[in-house]
Chains A and B, each alone.
Chain A
Amino acid sequence: MAQVSSISNEQSSTAKSIILKISRYNPEHDESSQFMEFNVKYEKWTTVLEAILDVKKHFDHSVAVRYSCRQATCGSCGMIINGKPRLACFTKISELDSNVVTVEPMNNFPVIRDLAVKFEKLFDSHQKIKPYLIRDDTELVSDEKEFLQTPEEVEQYIQFANCIKCGLCNSACPTMATDSSFVGPQALAQAYRYVADSRDKGKDSRLKIIDDSHGIWRCHFAGSCSQVCPKGVDPAMGIQLLRGYMLGFRS
C-alpha cells in the first residue's frame, strides 16, 4: 500500500518538506495496519494535524482522523506521533526535528479506522469514579449559599480539573499496555480531583471504587502519563497523593 505523493509548486518557497507516514487500518477488512507515505510541505508553525488535513485535501480524503478544536482543548486528536502519544494539533512538525513523521492510532484503545480510536472505555472508567460533586445539600436551592472556597482550597484540585480526556496518559501507561481491567491514570487522577475538592463529600464511596486489584494499586509510578499530558495535569502526582491518603501517609 505504501506510496509517495507530493504537491508541486503550491507552497511558498520558505516551506520545507517531510515524509508523513500514516498508519492505515480498517478492522473490518484489513489483517494488519500498513503505512502510506506522503511528501508534505510545512512551515515553522505547521502542526501535525494540519499536515494530515493537507493529505486529506490533496492526496487521500479517506484518511480517518478525529479532530475538532485545533487548539488542545477538545482532546480529540490524540495519536502516536514518532513513537510517543501527543495531540496532533499541539505538535509542530518543526519541533519533532525529523524528516520523517510517523502517525499511528493511540495504543491501548480499539481502532475504529486509521488514526481514529474508540473512547468508550476511557469514558466508562471516568464515569465509574463519579466525576461530580457529591453532597446532600445543593447550592441551587434559593436559601442556600454558594459553596465558597479559599484560593488555597482551589489550588488543591484545579490542576487536575484541566483534564481534557484526550487519552494520551492511558496510551503511555505501561500497566494499560497489558491489563485490560486497569481503570487507568485518567480516571485515577480525576478521582483525586474530586477527593481533593473541599466541596465534595463523596470521598468514601469514591475510594471504595478505586481500592481494587485493578484500581489504584496497579499504578507503579512509572510517570509516563505525566510526561505526555498536554495540559499539565500530572496524573502520576494525583495518583500518588491519593494513594498516600489511602495508606495513611497523608491526612
Chain B
Amino acid sequence: MPQDEHKEGVGGMINPTRYGIERVAYLLMRLSGLGLLAYFVAHIYETSNILRGQVGWNEFLELTQTTEGHIFLAIVIAMCVFHTVNGIRVMLGHGGVGVGKPARPDYPYDPASQNYRHKIGIYSSIVLAAVATMYGLAVMFGE
C-alpha cells in the first residue's frame, strides 16, 4: 500500500495567508499566468474569426464592446502588467540578483533574500497593475 505522504496539496500551495507578501505574489503569479494562457487561446480563436469575412469579424469584435467585454479586457490588462513586472523581479531573483549576500546570521534571523528590494518589486507590480487597469477602464468606458 502506498504510504500517505501527508502532502498539503493544492489547497496548501495556493494559501496566501501564512507567509507574507511573497506568498501572495507567488499565488498571483500563478493565477495571472494561467489567466494569460487562457486569454492566449481565446485570442487565437478570436482572430480566427477573420476567416468568416468582414461581417463575421465585426460581429465577434462587438463582443468586446460590451460592458462584460470591457471588464474582461481590464482583467487581462491587470494580469498582463502584474505578470510582466513581477516576472522581471522573479527572473532577476532566480539569477541571484538582489537576494543578498551570505553572512553569519544573527537572531532574530530575518532572511536576507526576503529584503525590501523584492518587497518593493512586489508592491510595485500590484500598484502598476491597478493603475494600468484603471487607465484601461477609463479609456474603454470613456468612449
Residue B52 lies at the interface, judged by CB distance under 8 Å to chain A: no
> What 4 pairs across the A-B complex have the smallest Cβ distances?
A244-B96, A232-B105, A232-B109, A226-B111
Residue A107 lies at the interface, judged by CB distance under 8 Å to chain B: yes
List 22 A-B pairs, Cβ < 8 Å: A107-B8, A107-B12, A108-B7, A108-B8, A177-B10, A177-B12, A178-B7, A178-B8, A178-B9, A223-B22, A227-B114, A232-B106, A234-B100, A234-B111, A236-B111, A236-B113, A237-B113, A240-B94, A243-B96, A244-B94, A244-B96, A249-B96
A150-165 to B contact mask, C-beta < 8 Å, 1/0: 0000011111101000
B10 touches A178 (CB 8 A): yes
Residue B95 lies at the interface, judged by CB distance under 8 Å to chain A: yes
Q: Shortest CB–CB separation between residue B133 and chain A, in angstroms?
A: 25
Q: Shortest CB–CB separation between residue A148 and chain B, in angstroms?
A: 19
A234 touches B8 (CB 8 A): no
Bound together, the chains give a CA A224 to CA B19 distance in angstroms of 6
Query: A159 — which chain B residues lie within 8 A by C-beta?
Result: 102-105
Contact pick for B6, options A83, A105, A156, A196, CB 8 Å: A105
Query: B95 — which chain A residues lie within 8 A by C-beta?
Result: 240, 243-244, 247, 249-250
Number of A residues near B (Cβ < 8 Å) is: 52
Q: Shortest CB–CB separation between residue B138 and chain A, in angstroms?
A: 34
Q: Shortest CB–CB separation between residue B99 and chain A, in angstroms?
A: 5
Query: A221 — which chain B residues lie within 8 A by C-beta?
Result: 90, 93-94
Contact pick for B13, options A156, A178, A231, A240, CB 8 Å: A178
Nearest B residue (CB) for A242: B96
Chain A binding surface, main DSSP class: loop
Residue A241 lies at the interface, judged by CB distance under 8 Å to chain B: yes
Residue A67 lies at the interface, judged by CB distance under 8 Å to chain B: no
Residue A199 lies at the interface, judged by CB distance under 8 Å to chain B: no
Given contact pairs A159-B103, A220-B90, A240-B93, enumerate 11 new A-B contacts (beta carbons under 8 Å).
A105-B6, A155-B102, A159-B105, A177-B8, A178-B10, A223-B23, A224-B18, A236-B111, A237-B99, A243-B94, A244-B97
A220 touches B112 (CB 8 A): no
B111 touches A229 (CB 8 A): yes
Residue A174 lies at the interface, judged by CB distance under 8 Å to chain B: yes
Query: A111 — which chain B residues lie within 8 A by C-beta?
Result: 4, 6
Query: A242 — which chain B residues lie within 8 A by C-beta?
Result: 96
Q: Shortest CB–CB separation between residue B27 and chain A, in angstroms?
A: 9
Chain B binding surface, main DSSP class: loop
Contact pick for A108, options B6, B26, B100, B109, CB 8 Å: B6
Bound together, the chains give a CA A117 to CA B4 distance in angstroms of 11
Q: Shortest CB–CB separation between residue A138 and chain B, in angstroms?
A: 26
A155 touches B113 (CB 8 A): no
B111 touches A223 (CB 8 A): yes
A220 touches B26 (CB 8 A): yes
Within 8 A of A (CB), among B49-88: none
A57-98 to B contact mask, C-beta < 8 Å, 1/0: 000000000000000000000000001100000000000000
Q: Shortest CB–CB separation between residue A154 and chain B, in angstroms?
A: 9
Residue A180 lies at the interface, judged by CB distance under 8 Å to chain B: yes
Query: B22 — which chain A residues lie within 8 A by C-beta?
Result: 222-224, 227
Known: A172-B19, A174-B23, A177-B13. A233 touches B105 (CB 8 A): yes
Contact pick for A110, options B5, B8, B94, B103, CB 8 Å: B5
Query: B23 — which chain A residues lie within 8 A by C-beta?
Result: 174, 222-224
Bound together, the chains give a CA A157 to CA B40 distance in angstroms of 44
Query: A250 — which chain B residues lie within 8 A by C-beta?
Result: 95-96
